[in-house]
Structure 1
Amino acid sequence: MDYKSAGVNIDTAEELVSWLQENQDDATHKELRVEGIGGFASLFRLPSGMKNPCIVSCTDGVGTKLKLAFEFKDYESVGVDLVAMCVNDMATVGAQPLFFLDYFSIGKLELDIAKPFLAGVMKACRESHCLLIGGETAEMPGFYPKGEFDCAGFAVGVVDGSEAWGKNRVKEGDRLYGIRSSGFHSNGYSLIRKIFEKDIGEHIDVLKRPTRLYVKPVLDLLKDRVEIHAAAHITGGGFDNVGRVIPKGLGWKVPKFEFPEIYREVKSRTGLDDRKILKTFNCGFGFILIAPEDSRQSIEKAFGEIHDFGLIAKSASEERLDWGNW
């Protein structure tokens, strides 16, 4: 008996590492990379030129959206999702992503699953100006059903601490600008899969659509020195996430708006009221910026279509969000 007969094929793992090395991004942050994929540790230089450089770290997963990837064999999309969930969080403080690491665990390492997944990871990293610098591929026989896997992502970036976005910058009179999502992104899929269980194939193009990446437009705003005070990534918990970047003494009255068609379908099938839908899903807006009104034109230039969600106002309530309109 040996390791291979127990279910772990080191040769396959080495083949995957070689494939990653051959296909890795040689352009992004080339001047900062010291040692990358294949070693025990990856080395990376910090960029220069910041007065108060602060390391920013984020970690996340894809959740039960993976079940759709298994059923419909679309592994690249969830690779994009994994990166997006991390780097979009990072974008909320106005940070520049530097590098990304992934953890991929599977019962039997199958290259026709791992390669498309990692191709999605690399694709999203390139789009987010972030380097896939390392990771872990764990072959765990007997732990997962055949063809299924789990994954986690870890992103590291940098921001000048004196310029980082956050609720300490938010002021009365700031406006909230909603940036469109590509769909459900990577949240709420335990419920979504139940809602569409009987006809999931009819809606699969929408349901498996990868998470929109917001990093490049954010980097454009930073490059142009556009004044942004805070941002929220609308993930699990829906619009309640906005309250996390509004300081005490201020609040936001969430205005009425029309849900995109797929969310209206969710409401119809579940009987959930609007407020619960808003507290569960992104409802068509995956990212919300809080900024002075003077920044609107620059935000539109960077992101394209945006939605004006009204004003930050004084509030004596402990609750940052006023749901009275709903």
Structure 2
Amino acid sequence: MALDYKKAGVDIAAGEALVDWLKSESQGSQPHQERLVSGIGGFAALFRAQFPEMKKPCLVSATDGVGTKLKLAVEFDRYEGIGQDLVAMCVNDLICCGARPLFFLDYYAVGQLDLNRAKVFLSGLRNACVESDCALIGGETAEMPGVYQGKDFDCAGFAVGVVDEDKVLGAHRVQEGDVLVGVPSSGFHSNGYSLLRQVFVEDRSEWVDELLKPTALYVKALHEVLSVSDQVHAVAHITGGGMDNLLRVLPDGFSAILRPWDIPKPFKVVQERAQLSQEQLLKTFNCGVGMILVVSPSQASAIHQSLRRSGFSSFDLGEVVASPGQEKQWQL
């Protein structure tokens, strides 16, 4: 029997059709359009990197995926939020440095390319890029029969942003007495799903809306905060590992004292079903806190107001304390 690439499971025409569709959808409507020299469809994408408003422009990069949340998307044939998940996991990391996103690339791998599913995924991804003021300039669609079975797929994202080096946020700015401002998550975001799929194995259909809520996009809200206050010292994106992510923005010799907050019901259901201790829960999931801002106490009120104007509630989550000679930690 004669064979060709399509019979072997790779439909080049379908891949080209997907690229053409995405190019037409994105034509002339990209963030940073004036910086795009070339974009989707070429061997590489070109972006003008001129930042005269910055003294020492520093490029910032981040990459991430969506993890086993993809298994639920496949199981329920719901892909509309996965593209946003992918963008959010990357650009929310960029903002932790104080960077503003510039451009984004994606990697989408399947066993067999289904144009409708791919378009739903990419539409969500593109919309999330627009919401985050980030140009979608390229990517890779890989059709790999034999590697992925049935409708299984994987995706990865790559984001690049820029920040003035003198304004980089991080542990080096954090001081004793700084206030921790918690910004709510939209749900489980994109972490902990290997456990969640087991916890809800008997009633996933009843929980699917909650489980597939897309990850919140914080970029615009946090850039608004940074525009009104220069007293944001650090930002922690609460992803896999839960509250332990806060330790990444604490300098040696300092710890965080957290105040109790109202943990949303879905997390409490997981705690009960999985028989997790409070510490295990807080070290696995975001528990309703998507971002933590470490700020000067004098600016906490103004920062809460700015977040409200951007559509986010917020609350005082605790404070930074000196702990000389001790390993940095958080305590509730």
Q: Distance in 1 between matches of 2:100 and 2:122?
A: 22
- Report the aligned-residue RMSD: 1.2
TM-superposed CA distance for 1:225, in Å, is 4.2
Q: Does 1:238 align with 2:246?
A: no
TM-superposed CA distance for 1:178, in Å, is 0.4
Structure 1 range deviating more: 302-311 or 201-210: 302-311
Structure 2 residue aligned with 1:314: 322
Aligned amino acid, residue 44 of structure 1:
F
Structure 2 residue aligned with 1:264: 268
Aligned amino acid, residue 222 of structure 1:
L
Q: Distance in 2 between matches of 1:310 and 1:254?
A: 4
Q: Does 1:64 align with 2:68?
A: yes
Structure 2 residue aligned with 1:2: 4
Q: Distance in 2 between matches of 1:91 and 1:295?
A: 19
Q: Distance in 1 between matches of 2:67 and 2:279?
A: 23
Aligned amino acid, residue 81 of structure 1:
D
Q: Distance in 1 between matches of 2:30 and 2:207?
A: 37
Structure 1 residue aligned with 2:158: 154
Q: Does 1:28 align with 2:18?
A: no
Aligned amino acid, residue 209 of structure 2:
D
Does the CA-based 8 Å contact 2:174-2:233 persist in structure 1?
Answer: yes
Structure 2 residue aligned with 1:17: 19
Aligned to 1:178, the other structure's residue is in SS state strand
Aligned to 2:80, the other structure's residue is in SS state helix
Aligned to 2:245, the other structure's residue is in SS state helix
Q: Distance in 2 between matches of 1:282 and 1:175?
A: 19
Does the CA-based 8 Å contact 1:80-1:121 persist in structure 2?
Answer: yes
Aligned to 2:256, the other structure's residue is in SS state strand
TM-score normalised per structure 1: 0.97
Moved over 4 A (4+): none
Does the CA-based 8 Å contact 1:95-1:158 persist in structure 2?
Answer: yes
Does the CA-based 8 Å contact 1:254-1:321 persist in structure 2?
Answer: no
Aligned to 1:79, the other structure's residue is in SS state helix
Does the CA-based 8 Å contact 2:100-2:162 persist in structure 1?
Answer: yes
Aligned amino acid, residue 113 of structure 1:
R
Aligned to 1:12, the other structure's residue is in SS state helix
Aligned amino acid, residue 218 of structure 2:
Y
TM-score normalised per structure 2: 0.95
Q: Distance in 1 between matches of 2:255 and 2:327?
A: 8
Structure 2 residue aligned with 1:54: 58
Aligned to 1:56, the other structure's residue is in SS state strand
- Of 156, 165, 169, 2:173 maps to 169
Aligned amino acid, residue 312 of structure 1:
V
Aligned amino acid, residue 318 of structure 1:
Q
Structure 1, residues 174-217: CA drift from partner, whole Å, max 9, x if none? 10000000000000000001001001111111110000001011
Q: Distance in 2 between matches of 1:179 and 1:60?
A: 21
Does the CA-based 8 Å contact 2:229-2:303 persist in structure 1?
Answer: no
Structure 2 residue aligned with 1:138: 142
Q: Distance in 2 between matches of 1:295 and 1:74?
A: 42
TM-superposed CA distance for 1:317, in Å, is 4.7
TM-superposed CA distance for 1:74, in Å, is 1.3
TM-superposed CA distance for 1:132, in Å, is 0.5
Q: Which runs of 5+ in 2 are unaligned?
A: none
Identity of aligned residues (%): 52
Structure 2 residue aligned with 1:39: 42
Does the CA-based 8 Å contact 2:185-2:289 persist in structure 1?
Answer: yes
Structure 1, residues 229-282: CA drift from partner, whole Å, max 9, x if none? 001000000000001100012111233233111111111111111111000000
Structure 1 range deviating more: 305-314 or 293-302: 293-302
Structure 1, residues 146-183: CA drift from partner, whole Å, max 9, x if none? 11110000000000000010100000111000000000
Aligned to 1:190, the other structure's residue is in SS state helix
Does the CA-based 8 Å contact 1:77-1:117 persist in structure 2?
Answer: yes
Q: Does 1:202 align with 2:206?
A: yes
Aligned residues: 324
